[in-house]
Structure formats: C-alpha cells, structure tokens
Structure 1
Amino acid sequence: MDALSSAASVIAVIQLTGSLVKLCGGYIQEVKDERDEIFTLQRAITGLQGTLQDLLILLQSNDGIALPSSSRLASNITNCLSDLQALEAKIDPGKGKKLMRKVGLRALKWPLKRAEVEGAIQILERYKTSFLLSLQVDQTSLIVGVAQNTDRMNQNMDLAKLEGAMEAEFESFANRDEVQCLQGTRTELLQQIMEWAMSPSQKSIFWLKGMAGTGKSTISRTVARSLKDANHLGASFFFKRGEGDRGNAKKFFPTLIRQLMLRISELRSGVQKALDDDPDIASKSLKEQFEKLLLQPLLYLDQLGRQPQTAVMVIDALDECEHDQDIRNILRLLPFLQKAKAGRLRIFLTSRPELPISAGFADITDHEYQDLALHEIPEEVTEHDIHLFLQDRFTKIKHDRYIAPDWPGDDVIQELVTMSVPLFISAATVCRYIENAKWEPKSRLAELLRDQAKYVSRMDKTYLPILTRLLDDQETDESEQRQLLQEFQQIVGVIILLAVPLSINALSPFLGIEADQISNRLDSFRSVLSIPSDQGPPWCLRLSFA
C-alpha cells in the first residue's frame, strides 16, 4: 500500500474513533455506575486518535512515497478498523436511536462488562504503540533521508570543486582488465603487507620497490582488493605515464581526498571550509593542496576526539609520475600524515627504485617507513610463483583452444619458468604471445622455443620506454644524446656481457671511466639494473635487456 492509500485508510479510522468518542461521551453523561470505565475507554480511544492524526500528517507530507513501515502499517490499519467497527457495533444503540428519541437517553444502558472494557483498552493501546513505532521509524527515515540528501549535496559541492583523475582509482573502468595476483602466489609478501596495514604499531609508509617487470602493480591491485574487502581501503592512485591525468601529480591529492571523504565522512566539513576559503585551492601547489585539503581536515578530527580507524592509501607506480620534482614533493609531504592520530592513515607505495624516489626516501627517517625490494626476494620463491602462474595460464589456453591436457608438458613449463625468472612480466609476455587468437598456440610455443629473439623483441615494450625517457630530456641536445648512447653502450653493455659482475671501482680502470661518472650514469638505469647501496657490483635483472 502506498502512502496515499494508507492516508485514506487512516482517515477512515480517525473518523470512526471520532464517532466512538462521541458515543462514549453520551454514555458518560447518562450512565452513572460505569462512568469511570467508560471514561477510561474514551481516553484510550482519544489517545489512539491523536497518534493516528500525527501519522496522517506524516503520510500526507511525504508526497505519496511509500515509507519503510508502509506494508506493516497497512495491515495494522485494516485490523484496527475492523476491531473499532466491532466495538462500535457493541456500544452503538443502533435501531435503539428511535427509542432513545422517544424515551430519552436515560434509557441507555452500558452494554460492556468490566472485562470487555479492559480487553478493548488493551487492544487500543497495542494499536497505539504499533502506530507510534511506525511513526518513529518513518520520521527517523525521513530525517536520515534529508541528512543523507544534504550530505550528498555537500559531497557533490565538494567533488565538483575537487576534480579528480577517476581513471587512476582502483577498479576504475580504465583498469577493468588489469589482473591481480593468482591465488597461491605472493602469499608471504601479501600477508606481510596486510599485517603491516592492520597493526597500529607499524610504520606509516610501506615502500614496495622493484625493477621493471617484477609485478608491483599486480601486487598493488591485490592489496587494494584485500583492503577494500576488509573496509580499510582509504584511497588509491595508480600512476601511468602518458595516460592523461594518471601521468602527473596535478590531480593526485584531489583524487585521494575525494575517496577519503567517502571513507571518513567527518573530513567533509574541513575540506569544505578549505574550498570556501580558497575555491581555487585544488589548482595550487602540491604543498598547499596537501596542507589545506588533507592534513588540516585530518588534524581537526583529532580535536573532535574521533576514535582511530585504519585507512590505507594505495599509491602505485610513483615512478610513472612525469615530473621528478613532483615525486620529491609528494614524498616530502606524505610523512606528515602520521601527525593525524584519528585518521591513522597508512600509505602503501610502489615504484621502481629510480633516483628521484630513492633520494626522496633518503630524506625520510627510518622510523617513518619500511621498504622491501621485490627483486631481492629469494629466487626460489619467485620461481615457485611464476611456475604456478604459467600452469594456470596454460590450463586456460588448453581449455579455450581445445588442446590436449598433456600439452605442453612439465619440461616445457620449467623451461619457460627459467626464461622468465625473476620477472613476472616475462611470463605474462610469453603467455600473451602464445594465446594470441590469430595463431595456433602449439605452433607459437614451438616458434618461441626455437627462436627466443621473438620473445626478446616483445620485452622491448618494458625496457625501451626507460631508454627513450633518458634521451627525450628536453634539456639534452643532440651531441649530449650521442654521448649518452655511447656511455650506455660502454658501461651497461659491459655489465651485461660480464660473466662475473664487477664493482664500480673495478669497472672504472677496465673502462677507463671515472667511478663517479659510472655511478652517475647507472643511476638512470635503476629500473633495470640492481645497483647496491654498498660497494657491491651492479647486475642486470634480465639478459633480454641486452
């Protein structure tokens, strides 16, 4: 029953209660012995009538929209009407009205016994209680609805002024096809990350670093999914160079703040104040955005005495941010979030160990962050995970392409594992090459095993952008580009070809290049070369880089 139908039924009941009140009033005037009983019944009917009138006002003011208690209310109104009609039939003289006109009201006799009156009063009180409950539920619903609408309006106001990079968020449509870690892989690492996220005593920043192709973004998506399922994902930003707003930091903080306001609703008033004070704050410097839109609203929560609740921000591929200075500024600002105790914000951040990021973390004290290098995880662990990954992908290929279950065999899988370790992207590249729908999978695999140059050529997508960015520096002229290429061939080429890795100090006399110059050049290749912080030798993660 909709609100309008309910209102019509309530009106009918109100009219009937009015008739009953009048009938009781007539008896009270003419009947002496049962006057107290009649008065008590009349008062119960009047109380029910008042509740019904309040309910009618609510129903009529709701524009015909069904309320939460509508279905139960309809049933109660029908039953109440029936019981009141039965009561009316008992106390209304009916045809005796003619007799009453002839002999007067003094001929009236109260028809109900005490027990019947008490029973009727109990029934009336039950209906009154039921209608009061419906009234309270519906009033609360309307109040909450108004509050939610107001919140949504305020939220829309905030979000309209905070233009974010929606495609950079976890589970955005742009990232719908991105994979997460296969079940059974990365188990210890994922457990370590989640334990860090959930423990209040851990450091505020977790930096997961790894060279190109080690699977950082896949891990980020898996962590984001686990945090979201646990209701602890505060916000996310997945950088990607060359992908519009995902490739720079212009909308980095607005994107995070938009998400945090949904997770921590109390932030909204502080963010709104910042926007009211400076409507253009979202276009100001990163420092201004961070302090006014994020840090100050979080600190205000501490003043409100809000209980600490963990919220983790996932920031993936910071190295993909196009401007090195923006990277440094972000890393300089994020540690200040630990000042806000009520928010208990944690930052899970992934990147390649490139110079701007390594330098940025070098300026952060050790007690503020912890780090883990993916390329330093024991090779047997990575090999096990890549083996599971390849088995899973080949199972799908066999199912989709109707291939015999014994293909390609354990020996071939192991050969592909050996080709891929320690890079997950190598294994993924192999699978994409083989499962291409335009070609027959068994033939593609045979070609790949015969001529691994086909595989190496596809790895160019991973490594060429690194070299291209090095040469595309607008401040580098043609002669400097030639020098960079020459030094790359001299230094990196030798490192790749060496059977036994040599330290930088050992490479210097061998190449005839100063050690400082070698170190400076290698800093540009931290994404593909492991460069120890001590005096250890640099080494190449994959021969395919050659």
Structure 2
Amino acid sequence: MSWGFSESHPVLESAILSAAEQNIIMFVAASNDGANRGKGDRIPFPARLPQVICINASDGYGNPSRFNPPPNEDDFNFMTLGEAIQTSDPDKDSHKSLGSKQTGTSFAAPGAAAIAALLIEFAKQDPLRKDKALLREVTTMEGVIKLFAGMSEDPVLGYRYLRPWDLVWCEERSDRHDCRSCRMAAEKNVRKLLAGRVPIPNLALVPNLPHSPEAEFDSLMNEAKGMCIEGTREKALHDIMSWIEDPNGELVGWIVGRAGVGKSAIAGTICSRLYANNRLGGTYFFSLNYRKADEAFLFVTSIAYQLARYIPGFAREISSVLKEDPDLALPKKGLLSQWEKLVIKPIQSSNLKLVFVIDALDECAKASPILPLLKKLEGSGLREKLRVLVSSKPSTLVDSGFRVLTQAPRRFDLDSVSAPTVEADISKMIRHDLGMTKERLEGFSSTDFINEETVGRLAKKSSGVFLWAKVACRYIDGGEDIGNLSTLPEERLEIVLDDWKCEGLSALYLEIMENAVKGPDRDILVRQVRHVLEVIIALFVPLPLNDLTAFCPDLKSQLVKHRLYGLRSVLIVPAAPEEPVEVFHGSFRSFLIEEKHDDFGISPGIAHRHMFRRSFNALTATGDSPLHRDVCNFRDPAINADEILDFSS
C-alpha cells in the first residue's frame, strides 16, 4: 500500500484486519512528511497499524531518506531503496522504454514486498520445501519480520536497511560453480532465523530485571534433556494445544505423572510450538541443579523479563512501571505485588494471547508462593487471553494448592495413558536414539545387535517410563570416547536386558554406577567417583570441567575427566570445555541422596562441609591470600544485606 492518511478510515481498517486474519502480509509506505506532521501520530494510517509492516525509504548507500517520519522506538523502522528509482513508461509499447525516476516511501514499500517474495520463493525450493513447518512460518507476517530483522544492518539513525544478500547470495567464481555451498549457507541462515522468536525492535528498552536464564525452556540445561521425538506423545500434545486454543478453556492446565514419564519433554515441546508462533509469554523450568532455578524468589521477575525481552510492546510498558516503582525489581518485594504490576497489568493492556509454562513445580524448594499467583491471575479477567501450563509429579502440596482456584485446572494425566500407546511411543524414541548410536558405530564396530527385537525388548522392560528408556539408551551408547569405557555397547545392552538387573530406575542407576567402578582397583575408583559426585551435588551452580577439577584437589584433571565420562548416561558432560557439567535428571540426584547405598550414597551436609573446606583451602593456599577485611570493598561495616548486589548473577 503506497499511500497514507492523516485520519483512520474505519472501512479500510476493517478490511486490513480481515486480511490479517487470513494471514495476508501487507507492506505500507511510512509517508514522506518527515517530522512535519504536527502533533499526534507522525506515522499516517495505515502504516501505524500493528497488522502491517511499515517501510521507510533509503538512498542508494543505505542512508535513511530525509523525508521519512522520525523512527518509532517501538518499531523496526525497516527501510529499502526509495530514491531515484527508475520506472518504465506505460504509454510506450516497448518494455525497454524507461520513464522518469521516482522517489518516496511509496516506491520503497513495493521493493520490500519484492524482497519478501524472493525469500518466500527461495523457501519453496528444494530442500526447504520439504519442511512444512518452515513453509508455514515463512508465509506469515511474523516469519517475514524474523527474516527482515535478521538481514538488516544495525540501525542507522534508528532505521534498519534491508540487505537480502546477507541471507541469499552466490559468490560465483568460476563456470564450474554449482552454488551448492551457497545454497546450504542460505538455507542454514533462513532456518536459524525462522526457528527463533520474533525479536523486539529495541533491546535498549528491556529493563535489567533479576532473572534466571537457566530456568528458560531453551537454556543449555533444558535443551540437553531434549523434547518429544517426532511422532510421539501425539495425543497428549494435541489435547494440550486444543485446551490452549479453546476460548472457554480453564485458565490453568496441569501435566501430572510419576517421575520419568516425560512431563518435561512434553512441556518443552509445547514451548517450542508456542515460541514459533510468538505465543510463549514466559517459562520457568524449576530444577534442583541450579540454586536460582529451584526457588520462587526470581520467578516473577524472570517472567516479567521474558515478556519484555521477547514479546514486542511489553518492554516499554514494564520499564514505565519500574520507573514509577524501582523497588519492584528487588527480591525483597512481595511476589504478589510484583505479579500484579509487572505481569498482570501489562497483559491486561495488550491484545496478545499468551501462554506461561511452569515445569517441575514439585522441584521448587518452596512452591507455596507460586500457587497464590495463579489465584491472582484468576481474578484478573485474563482467562480469554492467557493460559498457564504447569507440570509436576503427583504432589499433595501442588494438588492442595490448586484447590484455592475457583475453577479446577484441566488435568493431563500421563499415568492414565494406555500401556500400548506408551510402549509404542517409547519404541519410537528408542529406535531414534539407538539409530544415532548405530550411525556413530558404523565402520568401527558391529551394529547387528541394534535391531527391532532389541527395540521391542527395551520398550517392554521400560514399564512405561520414558526416562528409563532414555537413560538405558545413553548407557548403551556410552558417548563419543568409548575407548575409556570398560565394556562395549553390545555388552552394556545385555546387562540392561538381563532378567535380574536394571528393573526400574534405581536398579538401572545402580548398575551404571557399578560399571563405572568395575576393575581390580574398585575401592580407589569408588572413592574417586564419590569425590566428583559430591562436588556436583553440592554446587548451587554447575561448573565446567576445568572449574570442577579445582574442587577435586586430590585428583588430577585427567582422572576427573575419566570418572565423568564413565557416567555420561546420568550426567550431561558437554564436549565444549566452557559448558557446565550437570545431572541429567533430578531422579539421579535423589538416587544418590535419598537411597542408602554403602558405596554411592551421598550426604548433602557432608558434601557441603567438604566443599567449604576445599574452598577455604584454595583461598588460603598462597602467600598473598585474597582473604582480608572487607573483601568486597564496601567500606561500610553496617551495610544492610538487602543493599548488596547479587554477585552470582
């Protein structure tokens, strides 16, 4: 649309809204009035509507045209060539006849539409066309904005110049060049941008709220645990998405099931689907692995931060609230007050329909403060535009807490799914995981033992527990460095399938631990393994391998590495040295702490006492000890603890 009006036109606005509902992507000229529109809206109608993409003009060097309206802080302010554009002469027959050169945002808007059409056409070619989800995404307004934001330069005077060659480009250097490498690079760029969230235009507006990045669904911690394998848990996922889309649905949904049945995988899969559609308002995956992700005090500010960081339009609203009451950002502020002002009110003033996902609520050290927040939501009149999905094990605390709600939550009981359905889904997951093992072992070892009979026997022995099957597959695989393991994959498979071993998670964990210390020096290996696991259990924040070694002064770094590699089925041991070593699932932590094993049982109290001694010894080991009076240099012995910054963030 290469035109604009000072006033809104109801009939035209209705038509635009109707077109937007039909997923028609509209590009509108920003106007040529510069800063001379006077008071009120400086961007005319319909360019100021959120259902269209506003396009400004630039010169041939990517500089914003002087006649553009002032940049809008809440918009991307995309621009493309809009000066001295050569046109054809419609009064002459020859298509080669040139007309005059034209200037204005009216000519930049169709140029931007042509760029979008080029990218959509690229996505419709092989091999991207085979990805149905990607094709759906690229033909939406949100998808085009993702691509435009990814291809545009850093803002120049507040405007973003579109550079499609940054995404799709061919460096042809010879007649033999077949463009394959160029296409692969372009495909990778397009996939990466479309898989992400719609970015917000101005990160400078995002308030610096205390938050827990580890608790977000796409953190390294949660990504390593994986999501549902394609083709599995289809009914549960369908039921949850149907509840989310039901305008008369309950405010709260509850995924409930025993440990290991796949609650977090389902929650993560739902998050990824909502994320792609810009419907994900905020996530909080509680975890005992991180101190900042197992307590409630950062819950509200983390959700508010995600709203401001990822959902267009919320950053300014939340920043404005904090400007009036800066104390809302402090942990000492009441959660209900923070919830009301930083979350509820911004959503009330928005037209968006959002979903919050809270995973593993039973792993929250103090879950009781979270449940009144849901009650507060219930009384806020947001049921038509908000859903809250919670997952947990069957818990008296959670169940009784839900009773404060006027309307009981929609319950998605994973323990009630029929055994044949669960076994079929577990078989698909095992087939996928062992298929990756088979690919890795090809050419190095026989893989005849990985077959349909193996898949069936493992699925049956899992007894409906996805986690058992996942850990068993990790144990059979052994990880990349198989040379450091005392058994071969086929031997580990036989151990898992033994009728007298590995019945249930605890028995599987015990067998994995026993295999990690197998050998003539068993007593020494047990001490070394306990030493390393004590550190991992005691840490409030997981550490990378090198830092972890510093807390194991009795072991050389190579020994620490070997002991960790022997436990890769129950620990996340990243290849990158800067990434943290973590417990794969909270049930393994419980196995070590709660189940009394003479060789492998760990007391958290003793583990913390050992950590304290090692830390203190490290601080006093050198002649120029870093320990001294006022080590943080506050210069005020009477300073209140609430006034001290959180140095752990």
SS state at 1:185 partner: coil
Q: Distance in 1 between matches of 2:269 and 2:345?
A: 31
Q: Describe the shift of the 1:217–1:135 C-alpha distance in structure 2 as closer, same or farther (beyond 3 A).
A: closer
Match for residue 315 of structure 1? 358
SS state at 2:326 partner: coil
Match for residue 50 of structure 2? none
Match for residue 383 of structure 1? 423
Match for residue 490 of structure 2? 442
In the TM superposition, structure 1's runs of 4+ consecutive aligned residues that sit over 6 Å from their partners are 135-138, 144-149, 151-154, 467-471
Greater gyration radius: 1
Superposed, 1:466-485 pairs within 5 Å as: 466=590
Tell me which amino acid in the other structure corresponds to 1:360.
Answer: G
Tell me which amino acid in the other structure corresponds to 2:103.
Answer: S
Superposed, 1:42-53 pairs within 5 Å as: none
Match for residue 244 of structure 2? 197
Question: CA contact under 8 A between 1:328 and 1:356: conserved in structure 2?
Answer: no
Match for residue 130 of structure 1? 103
Question: CA contact under 8 A between 1:270 and 1:300: conserved in structure 2?
Answer: no
CA-CA distance at 1:260 after TM superposition: 2.0
CA-CA distance at 1:380 after TM superposition: 1.5
CA-CA distance at 1:424 after TM superposition: 0.3
Q: Distance in 2 between matches of 1:431 and 1:462?
A: 18
Q: Describe the shift of the 1:363–1:136 C-alpha distance in structure 2 as closer, same or farther (beyond 3 A).
A: closer
CA-CA distance at 1:411 after TM superposition: 3.8
Tell me which amino acid in the other structure corresponds to 1:381.
Answer: T
Q: Distance in 2 between matches of 1:300 and 1:348?
A: 22
Superposed, 1:99-114 pairs within 5 Å as: none
Select 2:401's aligned residue among 360, 377, 389.
360
Q: Describe the shift of the 1:391–1:173 C-alpha distance in structure 2 as closer, same or farther (beyond 3 A).
A: closer
1:476-495: CA deviation from partner (whole Å, max 9, x where unpaired): xxxxxxxxxxxxxxxxxxxx
Match for residue 225 of structure 1? 272
Name the structure, 1 or 2, with higher relative contact order (CA <8 Å, separation 6+). 1
Question: CA contact under 8 A between 1:203 and 1:368: conserved in structure 2?
Answer: yes
Q: Describe the shift of the 1:267–1:375 C-alpha distance in structure 2 as closer, same or farther (beyond 3 A).
A: same
Match for residue 418 of structure 1? 460
Match for residue 392 of structure 2? 351
Tell me which amino acid in the other structure corresponds to 2:434.
Answer: F
Select 2:284's aligned residue among 217, 229, 237.
237
Tell me which amino acid in the other structure corresponds to 2:400.
Answer: A
Q: Distance in 2 between matches of 1:415 and 1:173?
A: 32
Q: Distance in 2 between matches of 1:280 and 1:321?
A: 24
Q: Describe the shift of the 1:172–1:467 C-alpha distance in structure 2 as closer, same or farther (beyond 3 A).
A: closer
Select 1:396's aligned residue among 436, 444, 451.
436
SS state at 1:314 partner: strand
Q: Describe the shift of the 1:148–1:158 C-alpha distance in structure 2 as closer, same or farther (beyond 3 A).
A: farther
SS state at 1:273 partner: helix
Match for residue 216 of structure 1? 263
Q: Describe the shift of the 1:409–1:75 C-alpha distance in structure 2 as closer, same or farther (beyond 3 A).
A: closer
Q: Describe the shift of the 1:196–1:442 C-alpha distance in structure 2 as closer, same or farther (beyond 3 A).
A: same
Q: Distance in 2 between matches of 1:470 and 1:290?
A: 35
Q: Distance in 2 between matches of 1:131 and 1:224?
A: 42
Tell me which amino acid in the other structure corresponds to 1:297.
Answer: P
Match for residue 374 of structure 1? 414
Match for residue 336 of structure 2? 287
Structure 1: segments with no counterpart, 5+ residues: 1-54, 80-121, 472-546
The answer as to 2:471 corresponding to 1:429 is: yes
Match for residue 192 of structure 2? none
Q: Describe the shift of the 1:272–1:333 C-alpha distance in structure 2 as closer, same or farther (beyond 3 A).
A: same
Select 2:346's aligned residue among 264, 276, 297.
297
Tell me which amino acid in the other structure corresponds to 1:417.
Answer: A
Instruction: Give the length in aligned residue pairs.
Output: 356
Superposed, 1:453-532 pairs within 5 Å as: 453=501, 456-459=506-509, 463=587, 465-466=589-590
Match for residue 83 of structure 1? none
Question: CA contact under 8 A between 2:288 and 2:586: conserved in structure 1?
Answer: no
CA RMSD of aligned residues (A): 4.1
Q: Distance in 2 between matches of 1:413 and 1:123?
A: 69
Q: Distance in 2 between matches of 1:265 and 1:148?
A: 17
CA-CA distance at 1:148 after TM superposition: 7.7
SS state at 2:365 partner: coil
Deviates more, 1:263-272 or 1:290-299: 263-272
Q: Describe the shift of the 1:57–1:278 C-alpha distance in structure 2 as closer, same or farther (beyond 3 A).
A: closer
SS state at 2:258 partner: coil
CA-CA distance at 1:234 after TM superposition: 1.9
Q: Distance in 2 between matches of 1:58 and 1:462?
A: 59
CA-CA distance at 1:386 after TM superposition: 1.0
Q: Describe the shift of the 1:419–1:131 C-alpha distance in structure 2 as closer, same or farther (beyond 3 A).
A: closer
1:80-138: CA deviation from partner (whole Å, max 9, x where unpaired): xxxxxxxxxxxxxxxxxxxxxxxxxxxxxxxxxxxxxxxxxx999x43x4357469999
CA-CA distance at 1:466 after TM superposition: 4.9
Question: CA contact under 8 A between 1:69 and 1:137: conserved in structure 2?
Answer: no
Q: Distance in 2 between matches of 1:420 and 1:186?
A: 16
Q: Distance in 1 between matches of 2:451 and 2:103?
A: 71
CA-CA distance at 1:282 after TM superposition: 2.4
1:390-437: CA deviation from partner (whole Å, max 9, x where unpaired): 222222222211255642444443322222122100101211111113
Q: Distance in 1 between matches of 2:65 and 2:446?
A: 72
Structure 2: segments with no counterpart, 5+ residues: 1-63, 72-77, 89-96, 112-151, 161-198, 511-584, 596-649
Q: Distance in 2 between matches of 1:211 and 1:182?
A: 20
CA-CA distance at 1:464 after TM superposition: 6.5
Q: Describe the shift of the 1:76–1:250 C-alpha distance in structure 2 as closer, same or farther (beyond 3 A).
A: same
Tell me which amino acid in the other structure corresponds to 2:303.
Answer: L
Question: CA contact under 8 A between 1:68 and 1:137: conserved in structure 2?
Answer: no
CA-CA distance at 1:179 after TM superposition: 0.9
Question: CA contact under 8 A between 2:250 and 2:383: conserved in structure 1?
Answer: no
CA-CA distance at 1:195 after TM superposition: 1.2
Match for residue 25 of structure 1? none
Q: Distance in 2 between matches of 1:467 and 1:191?
A: 33
CA-CA distance at 1:147 after TM superposition: 6.7
Tell me which amino acid in the other structure corresponds to 2:362.
Answer: D
Match for residue 523 of structure 2? none
Question: CA contact under 8 A between 1:234 and 1:311: conserved in structure 2?
Answer: yes
* TM-score, normalised relative to structure 2: 0.48
Q: Describe the shift of the 1:412–1:300 C-alpha distance in structure 2 as closer, same or farther (beyond 3 A).
A: closer
1:266-294: CA deviation from partner (whole Å, max 9, x where unpaired): 43444223212221112211111101111
SS state at 2:342 partner: helix
Tell me which amino acid in the other structure corresponds to 1:443.
Answer: E
Superposed, 1:21-170 pairs within 5 Å as: 68-70=79-81, 73=83, 76=86, 126-127=100-101, 129-130=102-103, 133=106, 156-160=204-208, 162-170=209-217
SS state at 2:357 partner: strand
SS state at 1:325 partner: coil
Q: Distance in 2 between matches of 1:299 and 1:257?
A: 14
CA-CA distance at 1:188 after TM superposition: 0.9
Question: CA contact under 8 A between 1:158 and 1:275: conserved in structure 2?
Answer: no
Q: Distance in 2 between matches of 1:356 and 1:262?
A: 32
